[in-house]
Amino acid sequence: MAHALDFLPASITRKAAPRVAKASFKTLFGLPVCDFGWEQALYHVRAAIGGEGRQTVLSFLDASEVNRLSTRRGHREALARRLLLADGAAIDLAARLVTGTSFPASFRDSDFIPALTTYLSEPMRIGVLAGDSTLLAEAVAGFRRHAPWHQFLALPADADVLGNPVPLLERIAEAELDILILATDGETRDTLIEHHLRPAHASLVITGGEVLAVMAGRKARIDRRRRKRGLEWLFRLKADPKGVLVKAIGTLPAFGLHLARECLRSLDKR
């Protein structure tokens, strides 16, 4: 398990008071995507915790999420209500082609969520919700080692949670959470966010995916040096060549069509 501070960029520590500019956004695929560096992202997400009667949902926009815009009805409107961080080389390429500039940083849930728990110096109650109870238990144990000043609570989601979400919602409410990490499948996650979760359940909801496998120690985390040099894709290819190839074949052609349409729309506006 990496040391807690290893999840933070070198310029940031828990005791640092970041100097951040006002929130700014790039519009991509009809969505406002935060134009943040690490300091801005951590600062603004921290500010969302504890808002009276208010709930902020943080999600990571990657190529797969863009593809869901055309397959899930109402998904664009749902994402537009969330705080979106850019995730991956494909989204950064889209930003360069459409707006002319890259994002200051790229955020993966497996990097950002542990970094946020390190950045938050005051103790928080953090719920982690997932369908795989074994992976969930391992990940929560990893979180507790990583940031022991917080309370991490495991919230297993049954297979029929969407058929009867009331018991789960009652457990979440009883936990009195500050933050809820949703690491279920996409449909369960989005249905809970859009139809069931309220500010009383948690003021900050974060959608996650790979973070559980990383915190459980089942997947290696990409070190800062490789990521800074843009070699993240090579690390992933070496670690899981078949998985990377399958994901690329399943994701990139459809994303390329979305990107082509987005580029044409941006040309029409000039």
State yes or no: pLDDT of 226 exceeds 70. no
90 occurs within a structural domain: yes
Question: How many domains are contained in the chain?
Answer: 1
Q: What percent of the chain has pLDDT over 90?
A: 65
Structure tokens at 40: 């801005």
State yes or no: pLDDT of 266 exceeds 90. no
State yes or no: pLDDT of 10 exceeds 50. no
Give dist(CA 149, CA 173) in Å, integer.
22
H-run or E-run covering 226: helix 224-228
170 occurs within a structural domain: yes
240 occurs within a structural domain: yes
State yes or no: pLDDT of 264 exceeds 60. yes
18 occurs within a structural domain: no
Asked if 10 contacts 21 with a C-beta cutoff of 8 angstroms, the reply is no
pTM for the full model? Answer: 0.86
Full strand arrangement of the beta sheet holding 179-182: 25-28, 31-34, 83-86, 56-61, 204-207, 179-182, 125-130, 151-156
CB count, 10 Å around CB of 89? 13
Domain range enclosing 173: 34-269
Q: Kindly report, residue by residue over 67-114, the tens digit of the pLDDT.
A: 999 888 899 999 999 999 999 889 999 999 999 999 999 999 999 999
